[in-house]
Amino acid sequence: MPQSPVPRRALVLLVILTLVWGTNWPLFPLAVREISVWTFRSVSLLVAGLVLLAVARARGQSLLIPRRHWPAIVMATFTFLVVWNIASTYSAVLIPSGQAAVLGFTMPLWAGLISWLVLGERPTRRLLAAIGLGSIAVTLLMVPNFRAYGNAPLGLALGLLAAVGWAVGTLILKRRVIAVPATVLTGWQLLLAALPITIGALLLGDGHWFVPSWQSIAVITWITLVPMCVGNVSWFAIVGLLPANVAGLSSVMVPVVAMVSGAIVHGEPLGPMQLAAMACSVAAIWLALLKPRAPVPLNLG
Protein backbone atom coordinates (compact mmCIF):
# COMPACT_ATOMS: atom_id res chain seq x y z
CA MET A 1 0.00 0.00 0.00
CA PRO A 2 1.53 3.38 -0.97
CA GLN A 3 2.39 5.80 1.84
CA SER A 4 0.15 8.82 2.37
CA PRO A 5 1.66 12.17 1.35
CA VAL A 6 3.54 14.13 3.98
CA PRO A 7 1.52 17.21 5.02
CA ARG A 8 3.06 20.50 3.90
CA ARG A 9 2.68 21.79 7.45
CA ALA A 10 4.93 18.97 8.67
CA LEU A 11 7.64 19.98 6.18
CA VAL A 12 7.54 23.61 7.36
CA LEU A 13 7.73 22.47 10.97
CA LEU A 14 10.70 20.24 10.10
CA VAL A 15 12.66 23.22 8.77
CA ILE A 16 11.86 25.27 11.88
CA LEU A 17 12.75 22.38 14.19
CA THR A 18 16.06 21.73 12.41
CA LEU A 19 17.23 25.34 12.66
CA VAL A 20 15.96 25.98 16.18
CA TRP A 21 17.22 22.77 17.78
CA GLY A 22 20.37 22.49 15.69
CA THR A 23 21.71 25.91 16.71
CA ASN A 24 20.76 25.24 20.33
CA TRP A 25 23.44 22.65 21.18
CA PRO A 26 26.51 24.93 21.21
CA LEU A 27 24.67 27.16 23.69
CA PHE A 28 24.42 24.51 26.43
CA PRO A 29 28.00 24.91 27.71
CA LEU A 30 27.48 28.70 27.72
CA ALA A 31 24.23 28.40 29.68
CA VAL A 32 25.82 26.43 32.52
CA ARG A 33 29.05 28.38 32.95
CA GLU A 34 27.74 29.99 36.14
CA ILE A 35 24.82 27.81 37.24
CA SER A 36 24.24 24.07 37.50
CA VAL A 37 22.57 21.96 34.82
CA TRP A 38 19.68 21.32 37.21
CA THR A 39 19.10 25.01 37.91
CA PHE A 40 19.33 25.91 34.23
CA ARG A 41 16.84 23.26 33.18
CA SER A 42 14.51 24.00 36.09
CA VAL A 43 14.24 27.67 35.13
CA SER A 44 13.95 27.05 31.40
CA LEU A 45 11.28 24.35 31.70
CA LEU A 46 9.16 26.30 34.18
CA VAL A 47 9.25 29.56 32.24
CA ALA A 48 8.74 27.88 28.85
CA GLY A 49 5.74 25.91 30.17
CA LEU A 50 4.09 29.02 31.59
CA VAL A 51 4.73 31.00 28.40
CA LEU A 52 3.20 28.31 26.18
CA LEU A 53 0.09 27.96 28.34
CA ALA A 54 -0.29 31.75 28.38
CA VAL A 55 -0.02 31.83 24.58
CA ALA A 56 -2.57 29.02 24.28
CA ARG A 57 -4.97 30.85 26.58
CA ALA A 58 -4.53 34.10 24.64
CA ARG A 59 -5.42 32.20 21.45
CA GLY A 60 -8.65 31.03 23.06
CA GLN A 61 -7.55 27.41 23.50
CA SER A 62 -8.79 25.38 26.45
CA LEU A 63 -6.07 24.39 28.90
CA LEU A 64 -8.02 21.36 30.10
CA ILE A 65 -6.81 17.88 29.18
CA PRO A 66 -9.17 14.91 29.73
CA ARG A 67 -8.23 12.88 32.80
CA ARG A 68 -7.86 9.67 30.78
CA HIS A 69 -4.83 11.10 28.96
CA TRP A 70 -2.79 12.06 32.03
CA PRO A 71 -1.14 8.68 32.72
CA ALA A 72 0.32 8.58 29.19
CA ILE A 73 1.33 12.25 29.39
CA VAL A 74 3.11 11.76 32.72
CA MET A 75 5.01 8.69 31.47
CA ALA A 76 5.98 10.40 28.20
CA THR A 77 7.06 13.55 30.07
CA PHE A 78 9.37 11.64 32.39
CA THR A 79 10.99 9.50 29.70
CA PHE A 80 11.35 12.32 27.20
CA LEU A 81 11.56 15.74 28.84
CA VAL A 82 13.02 14.84 32.23
CA VAL A 83 15.58 12.29 31.05
CA TRP A 84 16.34 14.16 27.83
CA ASN A 85 16.86 17.61 29.33
CA ILE A 86 19.23 16.50 32.08
CA ALA A 87 21.13 13.79 30.16
CA SER A 88 21.58 15.80 26.96
CA THR A 89 22.79 18.93 28.75
CA TYR A 90 25.34 17.03 30.85
CA SER A 91 26.48 15.22 27.70
CA ALA A 92 27.00 18.53 25.87
CA VAL A 93 29.10 19.77 28.79
CA LEU A 94 31.24 16.62 29.13
CA ILE A 95 31.97 16.17 25.40
CA PRO A 96 31.88 18.59 22.42
CA SER A 97 28.33 19.83 21.83
CA GLY A 98 28.14 18.65 18.22
CA GLN A 99 29.14 15.14 19.23
CA ALA A 100 26.58 15.16 22.05
CA ALA A 101 23.93 16.16 19.50
CA VAL A 102 24.88 13.22 17.28
CA LEU A 103 24.46 10.83 20.21
CA GLY A 104 21.16 12.38 21.27
CA PHE A 105 19.79 12.18 17.77
CA THR A 106 20.41 8.49 17.44
CA MET A 107 16.82 8.62 18.72
CA PRO A 108 15.41 7.80 15.23
CA LEU A 109 17.28 4.50 15.24
CA TRP A 110 15.88 3.55 18.66
CA ALA A 111 12.40 4.77 17.70
CA GLY A 112 12.39 2.77 14.49
CA LEU A 113 13.38 -0.41 16.29
CA ILE A 114 11.06 0.06 19.28
CA SER A 115 8.08 1.09 17.14
CA TRP A 116 8.51 -2.11 15.14
CA LEU A 117 8.66 -4.27 18.26
CA VAL A 118 6.08 -2.42 20.39
CA LEU A 119 3.67 -0.65 18.03
CA GLY A 120 3.80 -3.18 15.20
CA GLU A 121 4.80 -0.47 12.67
CA ARG A 122 6.71 -2.83 10.41
CA PRO A 123 9.23 -0.75 8.48
CA THR A 124 9.10 -0.56 4.70
CA ARG A 125 12.19 -1.06 2.56
CA ARG A 126 12.47 2.69 2.12
CA LEU A 127 12.35 3.25 5.86
CA LEU A 128 14.91 0.51 6.50
CA ALA A 129 17.20 2.15 3.97
CA ALA A 130 16.65 5.50 5.68
CA ILE A 131 17.50 4.00 9.07
CA GLY A 132 20.62 2.47 7.53
CA LEU A 133 21.74 5.81 6.11
CA GLY A 134 21.03 7.48 9.43
CA SER A 135 23.20 4.86 11.14
CA ILE A 136 26.02 5.52 8.68
CA ALA A 137 25.72 9.27 9.34
CA VAL A 138 25.96 8.75 13.09
CA THR A 139 28.93 6.40 12.67
CA LEU A 140 30.77 8.84 10.40
CA LEU A 141 30.34 11.59 12.95
CA MET A 142 31.37 9.42 15.89
CA VAL A 143 34.41 7.57 14.49
CA PRO A 144 36.79 10.57 14.33
CA ASN A 145 35.94 11.43 17.91
CA PHE A 146 36.32 8.12 19.73
CA ARG A 147 39.26 9.60 21.62
CA ALA A 148 37.02 12.32 23.02
CA TYR A 149 34.41 9.73 24.02
CA GLY A 150 37.07 7.59 25.66
CA ASN A 151 38.09 10.55 27.81
CA ALA A 152 34.50 11.19 28.82
CA PRO A 153 32.61 7.87 28.94
CA LEU A 154 29.88 9.42 31.07
CA GLY A 155 29.20 11.94 28.30
CA LEU A 156 28.81 9.08 25.83
CA ALA A 157 26.47 7.15 28.14
CA LEU A 158 24.33 10.21 28.90
CA GLY A 159 24.05 11.09 25.20
CA LEU A 160 22.71 7.63 24.41
CA LEU A 161 20.43 7.69 27.48
CA ALA A 162 18.93 10.95 26.24
CA ALA A 163 18.24 9.35 22.86
CA VAL A 164 16.53 6.28 24.34
CA GLY A 165 14.43 8.42 26.69
CA TRP A 166 13.29 10.61 23.82
CA ALA A 167 12.38 7.59 21.68
CA VAL A 168 10.35 5.92 24.46
CA GLY A 169 8.51 9.15 25.29
CA THR A 170 7.61 9.72 21.65
CA LEU A 171 6.27 6.19 21.25
CA ILE A 172 4.16 6.48 24.40
CA LEU A 173 2.41 9.50 22.91
CA LYS A 174 1.92 7.70 19.59
CA ARG A 175 0.02 4.89 21.33
CA ARG A 176 -2.73 7.28 22.40
CA VAL A 177 -4.47 9.99 20.40
CA ILE A 178 -4.49 13.12 22.59
CA ALA A 179 -6.79 15.55 20.83
CA VAL A 180 -5.49 18.78 22.35
CA PRO A 181 -3.50 21.58 20.69
CA ALA A 182 0.26 21.02 20.59
CA THR A 183 0.82 24.27 22.48
CA VAL A 184 -1.34 23.11 25.39
CA LEU A 185 0.14 19.61 25.49
CA THR A 186 3.70 20.93 25.34
CA GLY A 187 3.06 23.58 27.99
CA TRP A 188 1.73 21.05 30.50
CA GLN A 189 4.53 18.60 29.75
CA LEU A 190 7.17 21.26 30.34
CA LEU A 191 5.58 22.17 33.68
CA LEU A 192 5.36 18.51 34.68
CA ALA A 193 9.03 18.01 33.81
CA ALA A 194 9.94 21.11 35.82
CA LEU A 195 8.66 19.55 39.06
CA PRO A 196 11.24 16.74 39.55
CA ILE A 197 14.01 18.83 37.98
CA THR A 198 13.30 21.71 40.38
CA ILE A 199 13.55 19.27 43.29
CA GLY A 200 16.85 18.10 41.82
CA ALA A 201 18.01 21.72 41.55
CA LEU A 202 17.25 22.32 45.23
CA LEU A 203 19.16 19.19 46.23
CA LEU A 204 21.95 19.10 43.63
CA GLY A 205 22.07 22.66 42.31
CA ASP A 206 24.16 25.69 43.13
CA GLY A 207 23.51 25.72 46.88
CA HIS A 208 23.15 29.49 47.12
CA TRP A 209 21.25 32.31 45.45
CA PHE A 210 22.99 34.79 43.15
CA VAL A 211 22.32 36.74 39.95
CA PRO A 212 24.26 35.39 36.94
CA SER A 213 25.91 37.71 34.44
CA TRP A 214 23.82 39.28 31.70
CA GLN A 215 25.49 37.00 29.14
CA SER A 216 24.27 33.88 30.96
CA ILE A 217 20.81 35.39 31.41
CA ALA A 218 20.63 36.21 27.68
CA VAL A 219 21.62 32.67 26.65
CA ILE A 220 19.18 31.04 29.08
CA THR A 221 16.39 33.38 27.94
CA TRP A 222 16.99 32.50 24.28
CA ILE A 223 17.06 28.76 24.99
CA THR A 224 13.88 29.04 27.03
CA LEU A 225 11.81 31.04 24.56
CA VAL A 226 13.02 29.70 21.20
CA PRO A 227 14.34 26.10 21.36
CA MET A 228 12.20 25.15 24.37
CA CYS A 229 8.94 26.87 23.34
CA VAL A 230 9.05 26.95 19.55
CA GLY A 231 11.10 23.76 19.18
CA ASN A 232 9.02 21.56 21.47
CA VAL A 233 5.71 22.77 20.02
CA SER A 234 7.04 22.00 16.54
CA TRP A 235 8.20 18.55 17.63
CA PHE A 236 4.94 17.49 19.26
CA ALA A 237 3.01 18.80 16.26
CA ILE A 238 5.26 16.72 13.96
CA VAL A 239 4.67 13.65 16.14
CA GLY A 240 0.94 14.13 15.62
CA LEU A 241 1.31 14.50 11.85
CA LEU A 242 3.74 11.68 11.04
CA PRO A 243 4.23 8.01 12.06
CA ALA A 244 6.58 7.58 15.03
CA ASN A 245 9.45 6.11 13.04
CA VAL A 246 9.22 8.73 10.27
CA ALA A 247 8.89 11.54 12.82
CA GLY A 248 12.10 10.33 14.42
CA LEU A 249 13.98 10.15 11.15
CA SER A 250 12.73 13.60 10.20
CA SER A 251 14.94 15.13 12.89
CA VAL A 252 18.18 13.56 11.66
CA MET A 253 19.29 16.89 10.17
CA VAL A 254 19.38 18.56 13.58
CA PRO A 255 22.80 17.13 14.57
CA VAL A 256 24.14 18.24 11.19
CA VAL A 257 23.18 21.83 11.99
CA ALA A 258 24.55 21.29 15.50
CA MET A 259 27.90 20.18 14.07
CA VAL A 260 28.12 23.29 11.87
CA SER A 261 27.06 25.53 14.75
CA GLY A 262 29.61 23.91 17.05
CA ALA A 263 32.34 24.48 14.47
CA ILE A 264 31.41 28.17 14.23
CA VAL A 265 30.93 28.84 17.94
CA HIS A 266 33.47 26.53 19.56
CA GLY A 267 35.82 25.56 16.73
CA GLU A 268 34.69 21.91 16.83
CA PRO A 269 35.86 19.64 13.94
CA LEU A 270 34.07 19.88 10.59
CA GLY A 271 35.85 17.95 7.82
CA PRO A 272 35.24 15.34 5.11
CA MET A 273 33.77 12.79 7.52
CA GLN A 274 31.26 15.30 8.82
CA LEU A 275 30.34 16.41 5.28
CA ALA A 276 29.78 12.76 4.26
CA ALA A 277 27.54 12.33 7.28
CA MET A 278 25.51 15.37 6.21
CA ALA A 279 24.96 13.79 2.78
CA CYS A 280 23.76 10.55 4.40
CA SER A 281 21.41 12.53 6.63
CA VAL A 282 19.85 14.36 3.69
CA ALA A 283 19.40 11.06 1.83
CA ALA A 284 17.78 9.49 4.92
CA ILE A 285 15.22 12.29 5.16
CA TRP A 286 14.51 12.07 1.42
CA LEU A 287 13.79 8.34 1.69
CA ALA A 288 11.66 8.74 4.81
CA LEU A 289 9.53 11.64 3.61
CA LEU A 290 9.34 11.55 -0.20
CA LYS A 291 5.98 10.29 -1.42
CA PRO A 292 6.42 7.16 -3.59
CA ARG A 293 5.22 7.39 -7.16
CA ALA A 294 1.92 5.76 -7.87
CA PRO A 295 2.29 2.73 -10.16
CA VAL A 296 1.53 3.42 -13.80
CA PRO A 297 -1.42 1.26 -14.94
CA LEU A 298 -0.70 -1.11 -17.81
CA ASN A 299 -2.65 -0.55 -21.02
CA LEU A 300 -3.79 -4.03 -21.99
CA GLY A 301 -6.28 -2.89 -24.54
Full DSSP string of 35-50: S-HHHHHHHHHHHHHH
- Tens of pLDDT, residue by residue over 50-89, are 999 999 999 899 999 999 999 999 999 998 889 999 999 9
294 pLDDT higher than 70:
no
Higher per-residue confidence, 21 vs 295? 21
Q: What is the pLDDT of residue 145?
A: 65
The SS3 assignment for 206 reads: coil
> Are the C-beta atoms of residues 73 and 189 closer than 8 Å to each other?
yes
User: Between these two residues, 151 and 276, which has the higher pLDDT value?
Assistant: 276
pLDDT tens digits for range 197-242: 999 998 887 777 788 899 999 999 999 999 888 888 887 778 777 7
Residue 63 three-state SS: coil
Is the pLDDT reported for residue 31 higher than 80? Answer: yes
Number of H helices, E strands in the chain: 16, 0
The per-residue pLDDT for range 158-207, each reduced to its tens digit, is: 988 998 998 898 888 877 778 888 889 889 999 999 999 999 998 887 77
**How remote is the C-alpha of 62 from its chain's centroid?**
26
Query: According to the model, what pLDDT value does residue 78 have?
Result: 93
Residue 103 to residue 163: CA distance in whole angstroms: 7
DSSP 118: I
HSE-CB at 118 with a 13 A cutoff on CA atoms is 17
Rounded to two decimals, the pTM is 0.79
What letter represents residue 15's amino acid? Answer: V
